[in-house]
Amino acid sequence: MAKRIYQTKTIHLVDGTVIELKPLKLKYLHKVMDIFYSHLNKEKTKMTEMESLDVFILCAFESMQQFLPDKIKTIEDLEDHLTMDDLYDVLEYGAGLKLRKDDDGNPVMEKSNKDDSGSGWEDLDLVELESEVFTIGVWKDFEELEANLSMPELLSILSSKRELEYNEKKFLAALQGVDLDKGNKDSAQNKWEEMKARVFSKGQTSDPNDILSLQGVNAQKVGFGIGMGLDYEDARDPKLMKN
């Protein structure tokens, strides 16, 4: 099965209108993020369920300006056309906000809204990411970029751009007799050895050359260390003493 940059979902509104949900273009995502953080995260205060629901409705309304702007012109239009399940889907597939239902059926934010890489909105610097992608030179200004790219598309382009730049650096380094990949492999191997040292020393050291990392079975494998591998005999043992 071919990989996809993002997932989509088709939903049917109350009046039968069919729309395909997909990640918001950055133009709309910015607005949703502003609403979400200004109401929910800025003061880190506890909100009531109804207050949270109001925020989710505002986020969904801004999201629908991409999907159905001619029909969803007011909050009342949104409430007339979308069920609660539709609202969940709009926020999840459009804005990347995953909601769950509480015992009363009200939407509640999941504890962690992360993408596949493990990053959440609070970890992203959109201005920096957009600035890096903008250097490709395809868009005349940032407004055009934000109107045409969604977050998954932005990250995919950014990943390809960085890979191309790295391959170019690797080629130029190879002309000088330097293997950049070897450095990466050595670094990964060093991290692996440091992790093993911490495990075998029970957290006492991360230096694989430290004697503390040579304990138990690890010590036996190398032939010496603390706790195993250093066999000795007590000459004072009567059974070993000779007449």
Cβ contact 94:66 at 8 Å: yes
Instruction: Encode pLDDT of 138-155 as tens digits.
Output: 999 999 999 999 999 999
Distance CA 87, CA 131 (A): 32
pTM greater than the 0.85 cutoff? no
Compute the chain's Rg from CA coordinates.
29
Helix (H), strand (E) at residue 11: strand 9-12
pLDDT over 90, % of the chain: 37
Closest-CA residue to 198 (of 181, 175, 227, 218):
218
Distance CA 88, CA 82 (A): 10
Tell me the helix, strand and coil percentages in the chain, rounded to 5: 55, 10, 40
CA 205 to chain centroid, in Å, comes to 30
Instruction: Encode pLDDT of 18-33 as tens digits.
Output: 999 999 999 999 999 8
The pLDDT of residue 214 is above 70: no
